[in-house]
Amino acid sequence: MNAPWQPPAEDRPVSSPTAATGILIDRVRKVYAARNSSAEVVALDDISLSVPKGSILGVIGRSGAGKSTLIRLINGLDKPSSGRVVVNGVEITALSERDLRGARRSIGMVFQHFNLLSSRTAFGNVALPLEIAGTPKAEIEKRVLPLLDMVGLADKRDRYPAELSGGQKQRVGIARALATEPSVLLSDEATSALDPETTDQILELLKQINRDLHLTILFITHEMAVVKALADRVAVIEGGRIVEDGATFDVFATPRHEVTRRFVSSVTGSGAPDWLLEKLQPTQPPGGSAVLRITFKGSDANQPLLSRVSRDLGVDLNILSGQVEMIAGHPFGTLIVSLAAAPDVLRQVIAQLSAGNNLVEQLGYVA
Ligand SMILES: Nc1ncnc2c1ncn2[C@@H]1O[C@H](COP(=O)(O)OP(=O)(O)OP(=O)(O)O)[C@@H](O)[C@H]1O
Ligand SMILES: [Mg+2]
């Protein structure tokens, strides 16, 4: 239980195009001709990503970053201007329209607004892709009922979308996406139309599906909380480019790009309570204390470190606040401490506290 946190064994960058199965996006570029002008819109600019089989990649970006364009290229609804998309060894970008129809059966799609047919019951909606694929009626029944059961809607099989809550509609959407037994699932803002509690339930369901069916999942979102809850790895997209990618935990712990930092702080905050933020000053007032934020990986590695630094350097470290949360299954903590020390001692304190995986930043001073 108290074992120190270890980085995941498989820690290659998501951008390395090595996945033979799963999803491979290789130097993809998508340029749209803008309407009513000769200008072009570069929606995606040299995107490379890989999602190994059975893993979950979250792609996060602001509005207009290129997220939906990326999804459309993966399911073959649109073609890249250059580059390749390979899904489970099949080069989607090389298929004819006819072959694409078959290939799409191995790619499940979940949508923000569910896209259910209002004239069909829950059962009828989940059955639809099987009917289109020409599956015999008895076989359809055999496949749809376990799916409705899996998403927790066995008792709603004969309900119409208008009789279902948002979360229940999305459960139907997920069951429908799984009907053709796809190997990958793509999700375009699947929880954006849902309240926070329902969002958590749907994310839990997606995680369970990933575990039980060993399904590869690529989802796009503009919410870092969704990435935190669901993704093994994350890619940050901005202006059609991947500006940062890596294991979810690492990206949270040490975001490098400005856009990533903003996304991360939307979830973790500064770690400092409001009363403290109001009192922070940029320069040291007479007799004032420096305020440090220590970001650490692992929940119990820090207590001995604080007392050691305190002892070695003869300073008193006051803990002002602390929090630990779980990100991608690993504890991630922030500790805010203050200390009164001369500049050279402060530098030594920061150096010692920065041991291991800790990130130490000075937030300012308090009187
Ligand atoms: N069919 C199209 N024709 C021209 N430009 C397009 C087309 N589709 C998308 N774009 C442009 O490409 C860029 C990326 O759009 P995209 O829909 O992929 O963004 P997004 O990240 O999904 O945004 P949002 O979070 O708002 O859904 C935008 O500048 C958009 O205006
Ligand atoms: Mg979009």
The confidence score (pLDDT) of residue 13 equals 44
The finding on whether 313 has its CB within 6 A of some atom of ligand 1 is no
Q: How far is the CA of 44 from the centre of ligand 1 (A)?
A: 9
Spatial separation of the C-alpha atoms in residues 291 and 277, rounded to whole Å: 10
**Which residues does residue 86 pair with via DSSP β-bridges, in sequence order?**
24, 91
pTM, 2 dp: 0.83
SS3 at position 280: coil
The finding on whether 111 has its CB within 6 A of some atom of ligand 1 is no
Q: How far is the CA of 259 from the centre of ligand 1 (A)?
A: 18
Q: What is the DSSP letter of 281?
A: B
The finding on whether 65 has its CB within 6 A of some atom of ligand 1 is yes
The confidence score (pLDDT) of residue 153 equals 97
**Which residues does residue 241 pair with via DSSP β-bridges, in sequence order?**
238
Q: Which residues contact 278 (CB under 8 A, 6 or more apart)?
A: none
Give the chain's domains with CATH numbers. Answer: 23-267 (3.40.50.300), 274-366 (3.30.70.260)
Q: Which atom of ligand 1 is nearest to the CA of 78?
A: 1
**Of the residues 67, 73, 222, which should be mutated to test ligand 1's pocket, given the most ligand atoms within 8 Å of the CB?**
67
Which residue, by CA, sits nearest to atom 17 of ligand 1?
Answer: 68
Q: Which residues contact 129 (CB under 8 A, 6 or more apart)?
A: 105, 176, 179, 180
Tokens of 188: 């375009």
The secondary element (H helix, E strand) that includes residue 235 is: strand 233-238
The finding on whether 189 has its CB within 6 A of some atom of ligand 1 is no
The confidence score (pLDDT) of residue 7 equals 39
The finding on whether 221 has its CB within 6 A of some atom of ligand 1 is no
Q: Half-sphere exposure (CA, 13 Å, Cβ side) for 82?
A: 4
Which residue, by CA, sits nearest to atom 2 of ligand 1?
Answer: 32
**Phi/psi of residue 290, nearest 5 degrees:** -80, 145
Environment class of 226 (CB within 10 Å of its CB; exposed 0-12, middle 13-18, buried 19+) = buried
The secondary element (H helix, E strand) that includes residue 82 is: strand 82-87
In the chain, which stretches have pLDDT less than 70? 1-20, 270, 298-303
The finding on whether 67 has its CB within 6 A of some atom of ligand 1 is yes
